[in-house]
Amino acid sequence: MAKQHVQQAISAAQEAQQALTNAQASANQQQIQQAQQQLEQAHQQLQDVQDQYGQQTEITYELQQSLQEAEKSLQAIQQNNLQ
């Protein structure tokens, strides 16, 4: 069960990153917001996995790193759009 849970969180994070990459390419405000929501959901799933199983596996650590990277690029996009 734990493995499946972690797997779902990873998929969510990867989808969020993909959405972000697409949004970055198009610079479409709506797409960017959707990508941001996906990121937040992926973060939440990750948190749930950690809360539930009480340990930070190698996978969840890597996942968190990639989520943070995705968030950085999201912030960069938003900065560019504001200017």
The pLDDT of residue 16: 78
- Give one word for 27, left, alpha or beta, with left for phi > 0 and alpha for psi -120 to 50: left
In 3-state terms the chain splits into helix, strand, coil percentages (rounded to 5) of: 90, 0, 10
Structure-block tokens of residue 53: 């199983």
The model's pTM is 0.57
Decide if 76 contacts 25 (C-beta within 8 A): no
Q: What are the domain boundaries of the chain?
A: 2-82
Distance CA 60, CA 30 (A): 29
Please enumerate in sequence order all residues whose Cβ is within 8 A of that of 7, keeping only pairs 6 or more positions apart, or say none: none
Predicted confidence (pLDDT) per residue in 17-35, tens digit = 777 777 777 767 787 788 7
Predicted confidence (pLDDT) per residue in 37-78, tens digit = 888 888 788 788 777 776 666 666 777 777 777 777 777 777
